[in-house]
Amino acid sequence: MDPKLLSEMWDWLKSIVLALIVVLVIHQFVFNLSTVKGQSMEPTLQEKEWLFIDKFSYLMGKPKLHDVVILKNTSEYTEKRLYLVKRIVALPGDTVEIRNKEL
């Protein structure tokens, strides 16, 4: 096989592998995309709406009141959803009350 062709194929292979590594690192530590399943976050988030999940910002600080967060579903009694989308409505020490079906 032509050495020039082999060299070019090797360069392409290195570029593709490097690009895949960069994508995997970004996906694991910086952000990823997901879609909303269910109506629990309406009207803020609608069914099948795309979410841009920023993982990096919480490396710099903790979630705050009213932030929308992604939680790993650890309940064995609910649907087989791996992650849940929820809003922080209280912080440690706060009192939560529901009156007339309103938080």
pLDDT in tens, 36-72: 887 878 788 888 888 888 888 877 888 889 988 888 8
Predicted pLDDT at 83:
81
Predicted pLDDT at 42:
79
**Bridge partner list, 70:** 85
pTM more than 0.75: no
pLDDT in tens, 6-47: 999 999 999 999 999 999 988 888 888 888 887 878 788 888
Among 32, 15, 34, which residue's Cα sits nearest to residue 24?
32
Predicted pLDDT at 16:
97
Residue 77: pLDDT band by 50, 70, 90 thresholds? Answer: low
Predicted pLDDT at 44:
83
Q: Which amino acids are annotated catalytic?
A: 40, 86
